[in-house]
Chains A and B, each alone.
Chain A
Amino acid sequence: MARGRALDEDILTDSTYCIMLILVRPMHGYGIMQEIEKNSKGEMVIGPASLYTIIKKLQNADLISLVEDNEERRKTYTLTLKGKVLLKKDINRRTIMVKRGEEALKYLKGANINGKEE
């Protein structure tokens, strides 16, 4: 059931979303962790147990797959076609939410300048 609620309804959790963003390019587990730390300036951290579990779930749901790479000893993953479709959908969803947020923010700022509460 748990794997997901998030995956079945096509809505990704923040952690899953960030991992999938990185896997537009082939990457191994540790690389994903480093990228998340680098890109989110510490806003998003992901622990090894969470990362491992999410990778396995994505793999079972056929959203990512192993990349054959003889030079790289570690297991390398990348998005499948199905994964790309789902990710695009979620990026759109999030973009709309951010736009709404920006509109609300403008309103909030306006209210502040006029010194109005409520």
Chain B
Amino acid sequence: MEKKNKYILNMGLAFDEDKVMKKLSQMAKEGWILERMSLIRYKLIKGQPRDIVYSMDCKDLGTDADEYFELFQSSGWEHVCSYGPFHFFCSSPETVPIYTEKENYLNKYKSSKEGCKKAANISILLLVILVLIEFILGSKIEGKAIKNIMDVISIILVIIGVPSLMVSIAYSLKEKRILNKNNKMNLK
């Protein structure tokens, strides 16, 4: 029997948003349509080939969801799926882009960037404190249990801190890229 689903690995929208949007659009031409997104992957289902482009917006909606999705709907952007604050839309290639000005386009990532930055900063700070404690009191700490607990805490901090740091750096680079692109456009 023919396959009905395909999956694309989710490598993190901070790193590969543009690439994923292009890839999804390419897949749609071959009849693989995005159905939903999860933490680890995008699920595509077999359907009619469509000539569409995808766009993602990042927004905490609260009670304004109806208004938000209606605006997209009436400007030709079909809501595909949402995952937390990430909302996926598709439309025909000629449709007006979802962001038409720079200021708010740049801010799209602001809240998730701030969150990651905070997580990175806090976990790195705690890690430094922990290492200092171990360094200063190392010989005085009695018992294996306490040392083990400290090791576990350090590992958890690294697990939180490193990805957060990477994501916030990725967002910063992306911001720079958008700004550069716009400056070049203005020169034309």
Contact = CB atoms under 8 A, between A and B. Distances in A.
Given A33-B74, A48-B77, A2 B103 contact: yes
A15 interface: yes
Size range of the chain B interface in the assembly? 20 to 34
Contact of A47 (B68, B96, B106, B107): B96
Contacts of B105: 49-50
B67 A49 contact: no
A25 interface: no
A48 B104 contact: no
B103 A49 contact: no
B104 A53 contact: yes
Interface in B51-90: 55, 57, 59, 64, 67-68, 70-72, 74-75, 77
Interface string B91-131: 00000111111011111101000000000000000000000
B110 A47 contact: no
A71 B108 CA distance: 33
Contacts of B71: 29-30, 33, 48, 51-52
A13 B96 contact: no
Contact of A46 (B74, B100, B108): B100
Nearest to B72: A48
Given A2-B106, A2-B107, A33-B75, A50 B99 contact: yes
Contacts of A88: none
Contacts of B67: 29, 52, 74-75
A74 B70 contact: yes
Interface string A46-72: 111111111010000000000000000
A97 B133 CA distance: 63
Contacts of A46: 96, 100-101
A105 B55 CA distance: 40
Contacts of B97: 47
Interface of A: 2, 4-6, 13-15, 29-30, 33, 45-54, 56, 74-75
17 contacts: A2-B103, A2-B104, A4-B103, A6-B103, A15-B100, A29-B70, A46-B96, A46-B100, A47-B97, A48-B72, A48-B77, A48-B98, A49-B98, A49-B108, A51-B71, A74-B70, A75-B67
Interface of B: 55, 57, 59, 64, 67-68, 70-72, 74-75, 77, 96-101, 103-108, 110
